Amino acid sequence: MFAFVVRRVLVGFIMLFVMSLVTYLLFFAAPTDPARFTCGKNCTPELVEQNRKALGYDKPVLVQYVDFVKGVFTGREYPDDPEVAKTAPQTVVHCPAPCLGYSPLMSQNVTSLLASKLPVTASLAIMAFIFWMVLGVSGGVVAALNRGRFLDRALVGTALVFYAFPTFFIGLWLYIYVAIKWQLTPVPVYTPLTQDPAAWLAGLFLPSLTLALIFIASYVRITRAFVLETLGEDYLRTAQAKGLEKRKILTKHTMRASLTPITTVAGIDLGVLLAGAIITETVFNYDGLGKLAVQAATTFDLPTMVGIVILSAFFIITANIIVDVLYAYIDPRVKYS
Amino acid sequence: MITRRKAAGLTALVSTGLLATAACSGTTAPSQGGTSGGSASATKGGTLYYLTKRPAEHLDPQRIYIGRDLANMNRLVYRDLVSLPISTDLKEGTTPVPDLATDTGTSTEGGKVWSFTLRDGVKWQDGKDITCEDLKYGFSRGFAVDVLTGGPNYALAYLDVPQKNGLPVYNGPYKKAGQAEFDKAVTCEGKKITYRFNKPWVDFPLAIASLRFAAPYRADQDKGDQSNYAIFSDGPYKIEGTWKKGVGGTFVRNTNWDPKTDSDKVRKALPDKIVFIEGLTNEIISQRLIADSGNDKFAVTDRRIPAALFSQVTGNPAVQSRATLVDAPFIDYVLPNFNRMKDLKVRQALAMATDQNAYITAQGGDKFGKPAKSIVSPALIGYKDNPNFTAPPDGDPAAAKKLLQEAGVAMPSPLRYTYNGGTSEVDNAAAGMKAAWDKAGFTVTLDPLTDTYYDVIQNPANNKSDVVWGGWGADWPSQATVLPPLFDARINLTEKSNGQDYGNYKSDAANKLIDEAATKPDVQSAATVYNQLDDQLGKDVAYIPLVVQKFYLLRGSGVTNYLQTPASNSYPELGAIGVSSK
């Protein structure tokens, strides 16, 4: 198991570097000149050229990438100008390792920028995860146990409806009708947990519900399918025949077996969400990683884009490793070497 | 930062407002956002909320270049030597008044030298006096364009320092190069600051009243790019905590601001607190203001009401009473590409066929804008309709066809219209214009671009577009910030770029008029020459005007003394606005 984990972690690191390199290459393959975004209305070619040099975009792409990788391990200074370091040291930013770069469009180093957005996205993702696991899995179990009956059809049908609606539609509808017109909840605003836990929770309700609904829909159906499959297994029929309590059959035997694939899917879904729920964060104006990703992409903010790609990949890779390890604990038949 | 969007993007700056007065233009102007339906009394106290979508790109005074932020920060935290007063009257509202200075400046050598004297008692938020050196330092920061990016760079071309390779030898206070030359051009004698320019700058007071590049800055607060959102105030408010881009910030009273050194013609400072909330969508902002509940009762916004929600406003008198419709500072237009449309009659036919109403209707009708008669905003000093654009707002396809026949071109004549696409409204607007042009004898190919729009149309090698779209807002209330930046080929057309002259227009006659206007001793006499220049541009069909945009804005019912002024660039006038008691 240990060797398995170490191998997966090493492969994960390699993947992170590959993804960051691909991001650099794609960025500079785009037809838009990023240096133009640094210039105001009266942007002369001379100004653009000067700013391109100041940003380091005039260097070959691979040189820029090597500087970036060095910075991850040793830190960097911005601007990297010895003259400015001597004459105006107060304007030089020291970006400590792991330095993911400095965003001139956000006026902040990328590591601290991502760190400031992560709690928002994490709050949203975790709350949505709780919603969809509780409601989605329990809904799926209920549907499976009432197979063919009205309750089963109602749950599956409702799941299909929510699955069909796009997230932005659900989010806007909830915001406009539930919060603004009917005033059933306060207007959603993100409040840090450390500032006011009650406000944090209240502010998360609508956006996390929006995010969770599509997952709830999906998990009702997945759970129902896995539970039905497990219920058909011979060993469960044997347990019933031996007179084991229904509750014990469900909780101890059925759910344990069904949980394995659900765990896999849930872990990966959570990992993906931690990278940012773009649409939900945009609709509810939650200043998380998803919203930052949109901003970075539309303003050609290369350092931030690379940082987000690395962070997203990190979450997904980590989620995969954790899920694989958990798999071995949940299902004793699985062994890693 | 150059954006990709319409007028709000490239035309990020607007320093003038809205109304053409009878004295200036010979036309009557619609009233500019008046006071709110509630009490108009100047009640102090309460919290005002400012709901917006677009994040502030810069809050560093030398880098701010968005009209909303220029106006807001002047009223709240960044005083200037002179400022524009709170007034809905065009003439009064575009005439600078003393702010940090004792008067509106003294000019010698035909406008090449300007001096101001700092008034006594003006302080920073930490209680220290504002000094002449702070003014000089602030001005110098505008030259560090490689560090402090995105701001207006007029000073680079005007200040009397030597140039090298198209840029001044002085590169700002972070490097030593050219410091001696800068120190000669900007001098301090006690409280008196003197600026020396290499050419007359007769509207310098207007420029510094409208933009913030001459605002004072304390050297010990300067951390270069890191200071982008670090607000150090000399106005009636200061930032509480920090500003977060995409989220906003809160302003509270600055106890070291002395109202006796200020004027309530510029800043009434009514609310105790002003909370900015960024990142909301237009629909959400409008729905919240329509609902008018909770804190939204005390909210204003710079975002237009979306067309889909017009009926919720106009159909409800209580909501309608909280909506204002005023002229915005933005003009949309199209530009024939002179490298391809070389025949004057063909360009005249294009102008004659242009359906302004189709363009306007597709984007919201009369709440979006009104047909423009010039590329110059009716709000600018000395505005006159351009007499060469005689087509009715729906266009005249029959007359246009006749012009094409006279030109001897085979019909239908192919035409490629490149525009800044990305929304269904602008696509529908382009389709409306295409239909009109097609009726006139053209056959139009629509070419919508989004992220690459300005990369393409500013590329001199672009030989595909026959007509391109443009949008502009003047940086201060003078035609000098419209016609020369857009049509002076000498500053625009280079090997690498056509600058703002997307149509590649080149004219010796126009350049002569531009040079003549620059020699005039005041803005009014320069305006007369600019009228002649506009006439020349119209004769050449260098552009075809489309729309004078409008702002249709909502506010909460608890907002008092609501105004939109030339000084506020038609956005809510934070110098005047208050809130009723909670």
Residue A261 pLDDT > 60, yes or no? yes
Model pLDDT, residue B211:
96
Number of residues in chain B: 582
User: Could you tell me the pLDDT band of residue A79, with boundaries at 50, 70 and 90?
Assistant: confident
Rounded Cα distance between B465 and B415, Å, is 8
Closest residue by Cα to residue A46 from B496, B172, B493: B496
Model pLDDT, residue B12:
37
Model pLDDT, residue B455:
80
Model pLDDT, residue A54:
76
Q: Which of A103-112, B8-17, B24-33, B396-405 is predicted most confidently?
A: B396-405
Residue B555 pLDDT > 80, yes or no? yes
Is B287–A181 a contact, with Cβ atoms under 8 angstroms apart?
yes
**Higher per-residue confidence, A258 vs B397:** B397
What single letter denotes the amino acid at residue B97? V
Rounded Cα distance between B340 and B361, Å, is 29
How many contacts does A have with B, using Cβ atoms within 8 A?
147
CB A39 within 8 A of CB B150: yes
User: Could you tell me the pLDDT band of residue B42, with boundaries at 50, 70 and 90?
Assistant: low
Buried b (16+ CB within 10 A) or exposed e, A131-157: bbbebbbebbbbbbbeeeeeebeebbe
Which of A47-61, A71-85, A200-214, B215-229 is predicted least confidently? A47-61
0.95 surpassed by pTM: no
Chain A: give the shortest CA distance to residue B185, in Å.
Answer: 21
**Higher per-residue confidence, A295 vs A234:** A295
Which of A300-304, A328-332, B201-205, B401-405 is predicted least confidently? A328-332
B284-300 tens-digit pLDDT = 999 999 999 999 999 99
B562-578 tens-digit pLDDT = 999 999 999 999 999 99
Nearest beta carbon to residue A93 from set B165, B226, B277? B226
Chain B: give the shortest CA distance to residue A175, in Å.
Answer: 8
Is A41–B176 a contact, with Cβ atoms under 8 angstroms apart?
no
Rounded Cα distance between A103 and A105, Å, is 5
Model pLDDT, residue B582:
58
Residues of A within 8 A of B145 (CB-CB) are: 39, 47, 50-51
Q: Which of A208-222, B2-16, B264-278 is predicted most confidently?
A: B264-278
Check if A104 contacts B (Cβ < 8 Å): yes
Model pLDDT, residue A288:
94
Please identify which residue in the block is written with the tokens 């120190």: B183
A112-330: CATH number: 1.10.3720.10
DSSP H helical ranges for B142-265: 154-158, 179-185, 204-210
**Burial environment of residue A108 by CB neighbours within 10 A (0 to 12, 13 to 18, 19 or more):** buried
* Mutation for A interface: B2, B15, B163, B244, most A CBs within 10 A: B2
Mean pLDDT over residues B105-131, rounded? 97
**Burial environment of residue B582 by CB neighbours within 10 A (0 to 12, 13 to 18, 19 or more):** exposed
Mean pLDDT over residues A164-192, rounded? 92
Model pLDDT, residue B2:
33
Output the DSSP codes for B292-342.
T-GGGGGEEESSPPPGGGHHHHHT-HHHHTTEEEEEEEEEEEEEE-TTT--
Rounded Cα distance between B96 and B85, Å, is 7
User: Could you tell me the pLDDT band of residue B208, with boundaries at 50, 70 and 90?
Assistant: very high
Mean pLDDT over residues A88-112, rounded? 90
Is A176–B284 a contact, with Cβ atoms under 8 angstroms apart?
yes
Residue B39 pLDDT > 50, yes or no? no
Q: Count the neighbouring beta carbons within 10 Å of the beta carbon of residue A31.
A: 9
Chain A: give the shortest CA distance to residue B101, in Å.
Answer: 28
Which of A56-70, A120-134, B63-77, B475-489 is predicted least confidently? A56-70
CA nearest to B9 within chain A: A41
Model pLDDT, residue B15:
36
Per the structure block, which two tokens stand in for A118? Answer: 């992560």
Cross-strand bridge partners of residue B415: B444
Residues of A within 8 A of B12 (CB-CB) are: 40-41
Model pLDDT, residue B16:
38
Chain B: give the shortest CA distance to residue A6, in Å.
Answer: 39
Model pLDDT, residue A61:
85
B238-287 tens-digit pLDDT = 999 999 999 999 999 999 999 999 999 999 999 999 999 999 999 999 99
Is A181–B12 a contact, with Cβ atoms under 8 angstroms apart?
no
B523-543 tens-digit pLDDT = 999 999 999 999 999 999 999
Chain A: give the shortest CA distance to residue B557, in Å.
Answer: 16
**Higher per-residue confidence, B50 vs B6:** B50
CA nearest to B492 within chain A: A44
Residues 6+ apart with CB under 8 A from B488: B501, B510, B511, B514
The residues spanned by each domain of chain A are 2-107, 112-330
Check if A226 contacts B (Cβ < 8 Å): no
Residue B175 backbone phi and psi in degrees, to 5: -125, 155
* Percent of chain B scoring above 70 in pLDDT: 93
Model pLDDT, residue A259:
75
Is B150–A299 a contact, with Cβ atoms under 8 angstroms apart?
no
B216-232 tens-digit pLDDT = 999 999 999 999 999 99
Residues 6+ apart with CB under 8 A from A128: A208, A209, A211, A212, A215, A273, A277
Nearest beta carbon to residue B150 from set A39, A46, A83? A39
Mean of the per-residue pLDDT values for chain B? 91
Nearest beta carbon to residue A104 from set B225, B229, B496? B225
- Under DSSP, is residue B559 helix (H, G, I), strand (E, B) or coil? strand
B439-461 tens-digit pLDDT = 999 999 999 998 778 888 988 88
* Mutation for B interface: A107, A185, A283, most B CBs within 10 A: A107
CA nearest to B499 within chain A: A44
Strands B47-51 and A108-109: unpaired
User: Could you tell me the pLDDT band of residue A56, with boundaries at 50, 70 and 90?
Assistant: confident
Model pLDDT, residue B14:
36
CB A287 within 8 A of CB B244: yes
Check if A176 contacts B (Cβ < 8 Å): yes
Is A42–B246 a contact, with Cβ atoms under 8 angstroms apart?
no
Model pLDDT, residue B17:
37
Model pLDDT, residue B318:
96
CB A94 within 8 A of CB A75: yes
Residues of A within 8 A of B150 (CB-CB) are: 38-40
Model pLDDT, residue A105:
84
Nearest beta carbon to residue B165 from set A46, A88, A283? A46
Is B223–A91 a contact, with Cβ atoms under 8 angstroms apart?
yes
Rounded Cα distance between B425 and B362, Å, is 6
CB A287 within 8 A of CB A190: yes
**Higher per-residue confidence, B469 vs A64:** B469
Rounded Cα distance between B186 and B195, Å, is 5
Mean pLDDT over residues A311-322, rounded? 87
Model pLDDT, residue B548:
98
Residue B110 backbone phi and psi in degrees, to 5: 65, 25
User: Could you tell me the pLDDT band of residue B465, with boundaries at 50, 70 and 90?
Assistant: very high
* Percent of chain B scoring above 90 in pLDDT: 85
Q: The complex's ipTM?
A: 0.86
Residues of A within 8 A of B10 (CB-CB) are: 41
Model pLDDT, residue B415:
97
